[in-house]
Chain A
Amino acid sequence: MTAAEFEPVDRRPMTGRQGGGLMTDYEPVIGLEIHVQLKTRTKMFCGCELSFGDPPNIHTCPTCLGLPGALPVINARAVDFAVMIGLALGSEIAPRSIFHRKSYFYPDSPKGYQISQYDIPICRGGQLDDVRIHRVHLEEDAAKLVHVGESGRIHGSDRSVVDFNRCGTPLVEVVSEPDLRSARQAHEWLTLLRVTLRQLGVSDVNMDEGSLRCDANVSIRPVGSSELGTKTELKNMNSFRFLERGVDAEIERQTALARAGAPVVQETLHFDPGTGRLTPLRSKEEAHDYRYFPEPDLVPLLVTEEMLAAARAQVPELPAARAQRFERELGLHPDRARDLAFRAELADYYEAALAAAPDGPVTPVEIANWIPQLVERIRSDADADPNPADSRVSAAALAALAGMVAAKEVSRDAAREVLTALVAGGGDPRAVVEREGLGALSGEDGDGLAAIVDSAIAADPDAAEKLRAGNMKAIGPLVGYVMRETKGRADGGEVTRLIRERVGVG
């Protein structure tokens, strides 16, 4: 997850301005089609190992090169992963599903057809958050086509080069119902889907590397209408930001058309993030007739009770459920709960800290509040989303520090310094407090806090006078003086109490 995805989110339904266009009388209707590369060892229909970034065409065999006579055989683990995804999304898992051939000519398609699923997919229905799932199906990825210009053997002609390493990588295609109502919501929902898939361990879900790819179907309709307008398809938006910008741009374009009384044409659009412009790829009518028919080289795919049980056992608690548990059972703020739960490593670290928390007044909310503090300190340019478990601060140490703050053994400001010291050198927070002399000044055990309060009053008699006269705001400069003098070690509440006592305003 990038830092941008961590931004606080506005989850209110969209009204008013959106993407620069006034949207008072139309509402957008958005559905997503997401392709997810599965993290199996081998390809969907052959035993070639998956790879990324290797020299071209070294992970191929007769099957994934589409050589004459070669045949596909289904990868059992890819099926298991698809079942896990279906279970995580609450889909109905088909005990028997069918692979079809989807025919189209393109150099990235070695057989002239893609083996995919059509009318009987492996998973149907389901829901993630408040968005319904239409279907989830298995298919194979295409090869990679790299444009090389005129450097090929044939001069005066624009060339591309095909690399079949990626060809045949198992893909799961998740199709949502058109339940999304804003680009922002689409972004958030895709984020949730992504963390869910990551938690399942079935994919790297990395948009930069193409293991997560998203198309969006966008239409608009008059607010209050339940009919669907003509939709356009936005292809391969390769980052969360582009998805949001692309969808916003398309909503704006369609709204402008509607306002001008012009029809929306059903077409596939390509979003150029550089210019923000949408260009048509092809028009649906003239375009593709995929000639789907059952793949005769394969037999029906079965998901047995045993496979289902095994998949169920492998589905961990998923981010949405975890966030809900943090919120309901631990009392975390919804945003904090999601921020932790949507990054499994943060949530795991948090739960480890909870388990190690000392007896005493410290609450789960207080411990949770320390996690972003820690993440901020260990984040770097090289690692924008560091895992706290990899840092020098053990979950137990963080819990102990939170416990010390709650027990007023160390002030909040001093504790931040302790945390910085722990990040640098590790160890036990109590030892750091001792070593650095950062223990809280309470005024009761002869640590000189009372004397410092007295010198504060002496240094600013004006403020003391105002306070005595009933102007409670005047206490500010006095507290500030004490805090400066104690380098933040004093407990704020105790300082206020002492000042009021000394000035005589009880």
Chain B
Amino acid sequence: MSELVELTAAAAAAKLRAREIDPGELFDAYRARAAADELNAFTWVAESARPAAETPLGGVPLAVKDLFCTEGVPSQAGSKILEGYRPPYTATVVSNLDRAGAPLLGKTNQDEFAMGSSNENSAFGPVLNPWDRGRVPGGSSGGSAAAVAAGLAPWAIGTDTGGSIRQPAALCGIVGVKPTYGACSRYGMIAFASSLDQAGPLTRDVTDAALLLSHMVGHDALDSTSVAFPEPIALPSAERLDGIRLGVPEDLLGATGAAEGTGIDPGVMANFEATLELAQQLGATVQPCRLPHAPHALSAYYLIAPAEASANLARYDGVRYGLRVAGDADLETMYSKTRAVGFGPEVKRRIMLGTYALSSGYYDAYYGTAQKVRTKIAEDFRAAFADVHFVVTPTSPWTAFELGSKTADPLAMYLNDFCTVPMSLAGIPAVSIPSGLSDGLPVGFQLAGPAFSEGRMLDAAYALERAIGFDGRAARV
């Protein structure tokens, strides 16, 4: 049993295809672990999976963030307003993976509607970090990250809007990929901010991430914003980084950021610099690069994402599904009480913020301006990629923090996304890999590349991963 769960997903898939291990046995091993979850990572665990022997992934079970719709299975997006909701259809990404041989193991806890960076905003309770149960796993895909880090699942998928895959991956010591916007279908993903949301893998290593991602991407006729991935995503194999130029954005990591209170934790910074050192040893060139508008990314993000969310969450009105409160009162009362009871404080805050930013007289000043900043940020990255292959930053300014330590100050919580949001706005891919520990807690290293550079980006991440030699076994339950 324990040997089975020590296998990476890619290794397990290879053994399943070679019939060296039994898919039912593998599923049951993980099912038992997921069912015994003490981290509150799962909101629902499957009873069984159908055989998947003839498939590329052979039947390696998959943990799926709650907000992916799965037919007949609770899909609640971490919200009370969708408590017990079972959709009549399945998200494209989940059915793609099921067809490829990654059957559903369970649904994972998350910040409500993916709004949060600590998983403390779930209506179903916070998720605990397996490295230190007094700390948060990050968010919003905290359940998926914790489940993979703790070995409760071989791999998982989550969604990333401003850092919701990369940041929890960093805080839990695993790999997380936010693909190019449009690479994975959003159909069936319960929306937070439509122009930013993107599904991606959370895995133990880069190879698993590449394998899972290769079966997630692809054009979907049901998502108008999805595109065909231009080339197959191969498994990574690079051992060296010769000729690779890594750009360190001084606008994010230099004095500017620190001066404005977004300063990066010294332990995290030290680890980041050590990783750059390693990269150079592998042959990479490390050079400064400019992203002049990146310091404004967070502001633009906290206008755009709530604005879109305010409309995306208007459908939760107690009419067709989900919670209804005061159904015997008048319509307006039913609406406003249902939403008052159904949404948590962070979701309400963002609905309010987004509604305000779109409201009459404020659109140009807020939403319109934010969309222009977005243009500038995308231009910044294009200019940077003329000189460097990848932009690198620490994924999160700090390691996993204590439960409850940032909940009182929404703005402080938002600063978690300082290094991840620029890539989201530009729609470009980024990966977070574990780059070591600081005070016993994992640190994440982020690489971002041009649109659709996932293959090369994961190759570079793989070379780094081998050089770093991170050992995540301490977090396994």
Contact = CB atoms under 8 A, between A and B. Distances in A.
Q: Among A70, A111, A157, find the residue whose CB has the most chain B CB atoms closer than 10 A.
A: A70
Given A73-B222, A112-B315, A154 B328 contact: yes
Given A71-B223, A71-B224, A291-B355, A105 B367 contact: no
B386 to A, nearest CB: 26
Interface string A69-87: 1111110000000000000
Contacts of A224: none
A162 B222 contact: no
A505 interface: no
Contacts of B82: 68
A88 to B, nearest CB: 28
B314 A105 contact: yes
Contacts of B87: 62, 67-69
Interface stretch (B186-194, B235-243, B448-456): B186-194
Contacts of B124: none
Contact of B186 (A67, A71, A154): A71
A97 B321 CA distance: 33
A194 B313 CA distance: 38
B91 A69 contact: yes
Contacts of B321: 67-68
Nearest to A61: B89
A69 B311 contact: no
A111 B358 CA distance: 17
Given A68-B69, A68-B77, A71-B186, A62 B89 contact: yes
Interface string A296-309: 11110000000000
A68 B308 contact: no
A177 B313 CA distance: 36
A70 B90 CA distance: 10
B373 to A, nearest CB: 15
B225 A297 contact: yes
Interface string B51-62: 000000000000
Contact of A65 (B85, B310, B320): B320
A68 B112 CA distance: 14
Contact of A68 (B190, B221, B311, B355): B190
Q: Among B89, B186, B315, B367, find the residue whose CB has the most chain A CB atoms closer than 10 A.
A: B315
A154 B367 contact: no
A110 interface: yes
A52 B328 CA distance: 31
A69 B190 contact: yes
B360 A112 contact: no
B261 interface: no
A68 B315 contact: yes
A107 B338 CA distance: 14
A154 B89 CA distance: 30
A445 interface: no
A101 to B, nearest CB: 5
A204 B314 CA distance: 33
A157 B333 CA distance: 13
Contacts of B194: 296-297
A156 interface: yes
Given A154-B328, A293-B311, A107 B359 contact: no
A391 interface: no
Contact of B88 (A62, A111, A113, A162): A62
A107 B189 contact: no
Interface in B217-232: 221-225
A112 B327 CA distance: 18
B75 interface: yes
Given A71-B186, A107-B319, A107-B331, A291 B69 contact: no
A157 B329 CA distance: 7
Interface string A406-445: 0000000000000000000000000000000000000000
Q: Is the interface of A mostly helix, strand, loop or mixed?
A: loop
A105 B69 contact: no
A468 B190 CA distance: 100
A66 interface: yes
A293 B307 contact: yes
A299 B224 contact: yes
Contact of A289 (B85, B311, B327, B359): B359
Contacts of B69: 62, 67-69
Given A69-B189, A107-B331, A298-B224, A291 B358 contact: yes
B195 A296 contact: yes
Interface in A100-115: 101, 103, 105, 107, 110-113
A70 B224 contact: no
B160 interface: no
Q: Among B187, B223, B319, find the residue whose CB has the most chain A CB atoms closer than 10 A.
A: B319
A291 B187 contact: no
A299 B359 CA distance: 23
Nearest to B79: A68
B363 interface: yes
B111 interface: no
A140 to B, nearest CB: 14
B251 to A, nearest CB: 27
Contacts of B77: 68
A362 B85 CA distance: 75
Contacts of B313: 112
Contacts of A156: 328
Contacts of A103: 310-311, 314, 358
B225 A299 contact: yes
Contacts of A299: 224-225
Contacts of A112: 311, 313-315, 317
A465 to B, nearest CB: 88
Nearest to B335: A105
Contacts of A162: 319-320
Contacts of B367: 293
Given A62-B87, A156-B328, A289-B359, A297 B224 contact: yes
B191 A69 contact: yes
Contact of B314 (A65, A111, A297): A111
B221 A66 contact: no
B220 to A, nearest CB: 9
Contacts of A101: 311
Contacts of B224: 71-74, 297-299
Nearest to B220: A71
A296 B371 CA distance: 12
B35 to A, nearest CB: 26
A103 B311 CA distance: 7
Contacts of B328: 154, 156-157
A103 to B, nearest CB: 6
Contacts of B329: 157
Interface in A309-325: none
Interface in B316-364: 317, 319-321, 327-329, 331, 335, 355, 358-360, 363
A289 B335 CA distance: 17
Contacts of B359: 289, 291
Interface string B264-295: 00000000000000000000000000000000
Nearest to A74: B224
Given A69-B190, A71-B186, A113-B311, A105 B225 contact: no
Nearest to A109: B314
Contacts of B314: 103, 105, 111-113
B311 A67 contact: no
A66 B315 contact: yes
A36 B411 CA distance: 47
26 contacts: A62-B88, A62-B89, A66-B320, A68-B82, A69-B68, A69-B69, A69-B186, A70-B187, A71-B186, A71-B223, A101-B311, A103-B314, A107-B319, A107-B331, A110-B320, A154-B327, A154-B328, A156-B328, A162-B320, A289-B360, A291-B311, A296-B225, A297-B191, A297-B224, A297-B225, A299-B224
